[in-house]
Structure 1
Amino acid sequence: MFNKALKPFVLLIAMLFSGLALANGGEIAPQAGNEAEVVWQAIQQGAEGRTTSLNEHHPQLINSYDLRMLDWRNDWLSYAMFFALFGMIAVFIAFIAINGISKLEKGFSGKMVYRWSKTDVFLHWLAAIPCLLLCVTGLVLLSGKFIIEPLLGTGAFAGMANVSKLVHDYMAIPFMLGWIIISIKWAKNQIPARYDLDWFMVVGGYINFGPFKGKHPHAGFANAGEKLFFWAFVLFGLVISVSGVILLFPNLVEPSRTVSMIAVLAHGAAAIVLCAFSIVHIFMATVMSEGGVDCMISGYCDENWAIQHHDLWYDEIKANGTLKYMEK
């Protein structure tokens, strides 16, 4: 599809620069068509021209294999990114409207239990803030041409795209830094356990109707949902980081055009999954869970929140004497 779309432009270039020297390991035999057709056929066969660039891939004008991959990016990933963000937000708004939030059955105790260190809180926001900015700017860069530009116009979209590109590039570094530290530092509390399956069976105790109402499954320091998000963050964050380095520093890595396009696809696909997980995480930790957001602001959580949502962890720190309250 893209070969056909590019053909008129290549023919025009060929007519303007008909003296371009092409080499393909041998001479190209003239054919029945005009000279532009011969040039186009040579390009499709991988013919190379002359260039002062030292990069081994620069003499090749077009890589038709890479162009076929653009179908996946433009026809699938660009729209998937849009629905991963706004689709998940719409689902949660509808869910909360029907189900309501998960309230503390015994209310707030007024006693705040130590849960996260100041370093952990800092690391959380070091990854969270860039992640949110990368999601928003990634939406503009990946989906904007097909969804935003038709609505706002070329001029407005051009400005958005320019700002998004700068923010996306600069936020990549703190995100990768936060990703690698968190992946190593927090892994010990994210190991799956048998009781995690029970957590999923009752949807974490967040359902306020039917047979699930009032169910509060056991959970350690991290519940099953948090563990799932953590390992998704580790895995897809790795794909995003590796592919991001390839795209952000092409002169350093010097990938082939095919590798670059694979990096684009992998980067977009992994970002879509991680963005969807991030929306779930944000809603579950803030709107859905009464008292949950305190953990990543002060590092402390209400004692009743700890007992209701992380009972095994609370029992453990109470038993071993590490239970610590916030000083008033």
Structure 2
Amino acid sequence: MNKWLKHIGVAIALFFSVSVFANATDKVGDTIEVNNGQIWAQLKAGEEGRTTSTSEFHTQAINTYDLRVLELRSDILAPALMAALFGMIIIFVLFIKVNGISKLHGGYSGKLVYRWSKFDVSIHWLGAIPCLLLILTGLMLIAGRYFVQPYIGEGLWASLVNASKQIHDIMAIPFMLGWALMVTLWAKNQMPKMYDLKWMMVVGGYINFGPFKGKHPDAGFANAGEKLWFWAFAAFGLVISASGMLLLFPNLFEPSRTLSLIALVLHSVSAIIITAFSIVHIFMATVMSEGGMECMVSGYCDETWASQHHNLWFDEIKANGTLKYKE
């Protein structure tokens, strides 16, 4: 009997001990939660502390500036990049449905005029293919969580993001090489001229209704629209390349945290602009302008296309004897 009473006494003692410990733990947890709330509020307000770190941010436990930049990227820049890609595609599809494409008057002549060398064609695709891959992978990295992640499993999403990151990093180098070659070698044919203003005023003659219908403004080797695209690509391609190098090789350049964040924002903004221009460029070359795509496939263009869309250049090569047909 005494043995059972002893066991019962131990059990009761254990019960009360556990109860007291649980109650004390709850109070400690509540105290910690309150203290944590106070600490976070103080840190967000700019309260400084002391640490043995020698970093430039050693007094800053929370970098609220970083958070604002990251929110800007996720809440504004990500949707803007989606709009630049999908929005421009929708706009062009609707425009072509209403307006139609720019047909060659009289149809194809059957005579192909030399326009680009094989080296120029190679340079174009050296920049174009990586550019498209960078746009698609960049879109996946910055905005994929909006239109891909909700519809696939977490494992597949993780693999897709990892693959996008690897492709994005690898394609950066050939893109920068293609950009540098195009800007260096093609700038001489992209200088603005007075007749470019007239081209812009009638939208290049691509409008098939109203007072713009049937207009074919003067254009040299490059028309005003191509020049606008070239200089946008040159300027924002430089920003993308410079910011991309900082982000791709942080150990080499050792940028500050602030510079890295600025590079991240500039990289995204430039990507949005180049994406919008790229969609216009692709549609104009492949769909909108009949006969336009041939130029960057073989380096030759149809004679009718040359005289209709780049009449001043065509007249020039006829006059100076450099006109060359494909045999």
Fold agreement, TM-score > 0.5: yes
More helix by share: 2
CA drift of 1:153 comes to: 4.5
Q: Which runs of 5+ in 1 are unaligned?
A: 1-14, 16-32
Q: State the secondary structure of the residue aligned to 1:287.
A: helix
2:263 maps to a residue whose letter is A
Q: Which runs of 5+ in 2 are unaligned?
A: 1-27, 29-33
Q: 1:195 to 1:66 in 2, by over 3 A?
A: same
Number of the residue aligned with 1:148? 148
Number of the residue aligned with 1:20? none
Per-residue CA deviations over 1:150-182 (Å, capped at 9, x if unaligned) read 233433322221110000000000001111111
Query: Equivalents in 2 of 1:141, 1:276: separation in Å?
Result: 18
Q: 1:187 to 1:150 in 2, by over 3 A?
A: same
Check whether the contact 2:43–2:62 (CA below 8 A) recurs between aligned residues.
no
CA drift of 1:38 comes to: 4.2
Check whether the contact 1:48–1:61 (CA below 8 A) recurs between aligned residues.
no
1:123-138 aligned at under 5 Å gives the runs 123-138=123-138
Check whether the contact 1:109–1:302 (CA below 8 A) recurs between aligned residues.
yes
1:166-185 aligned at under 5 Å gives the runs 166-185=166-185
CA drift of 1:266 comes to: 0.5
CA drift of 1:147 comes to: 3.4
- Using structure 1 for the length normalisation, give the TM-score: 0.84
Per-residue CA deviations over 1:203-229 (Å, capped at 9, x if unaligned) read 111111121111111000000000000
2:138 maps to a residue whose letter is G
1:108 maps to a residue whose letter is Y
Query: Equivalents in 2 of 1:226, 1:48: separation in Å?
Result: 57
- Using structure 2 for the length normalisation, give the TM-score: 0.85
CA drift of 1:145 comes to: 2.2
Q: 1:75 to 1:39 in 2, by over 3 A?
A: closer
Query: Equivalents in 1 of 2:55, 2:311: separation in Å?
Result: 59
Number of the residue aligned with 2:246? 246
CA drift of 1:68 comes to: 1.4
Number of the residue aligned with 2:300? 300
Q: 1:35 to 1:100 in 2, by over 3 A?
A: closer
CA drift of 1:37 comes to: 4.0
> Does 1:101 pair with 2:131?
no
Query: Equivalents in 2 of 1:79, 1:190: separation in Å?
Result: 32
Query: Equivalents in 2 of 1:239, 1:105: separation in Å?
Result: 41
Query: Equivalents in 1 of 2:283, 2:36: separation in Å?
Result: 61
CA drift of 1:58 comes to: 8.0
Query: Equivalents in 1 of 2:220, 2:142: separation in Å?
Result: 38
Q: State the secondary structure of the residue aligned to 1:146.
A: helix
1:1-150 aligned at under 5 Å gives the runs 34=35, 37-38=38-39, 41=42, 44-45=46-47, 47=49, 49-50=51-52, 61-150=61-150
Query: Equivalents in 1 of 2:196, 2:58: separation in Å?
Result: 52
1:168 maps to a residue whose letter is H
Q: 1:76 to 1:316 in 2, by over 3 A?
A: same
Query: Equivalents in 1 of 2:176, 2:118: separation in Å?
Result: 20
CA drift of 1:272 comes to: 0.3
Check whether the contact 2:247–2:264 (CA below 8 A) recurs between aligned residues.
yes
Number of the residue aligned with 2:8? none
Q: State the secondary structure of the residue aligned to 2:69.
A: helix
Query: Equivalents in 1 of 2:195, 2:175: separation in Å?
Result: 32
Query: Equivalents in 2 of 1:93, 1:108: separation in Å?
Result: 24
CA drift of 1:94 comes to: 0.6
Per-residue CA deviations over 1:248-290 (Å, capped at 9, x if unaligned) read 0111111111111111111001000000000000000110011
Q: CA RMSD in A?
A: 2.2
Number of the residue aligned with 1:207? 207
Q: State the secondary structure of the residue aligned to 1:317.
A: helix
Check whether the contact 1:49–1:61 (CA below 8 A) recurs between aligned residues.
no
Check whether the contact 1:113–1:301 (CA below 8 A) recurs between aligned residues.
yes
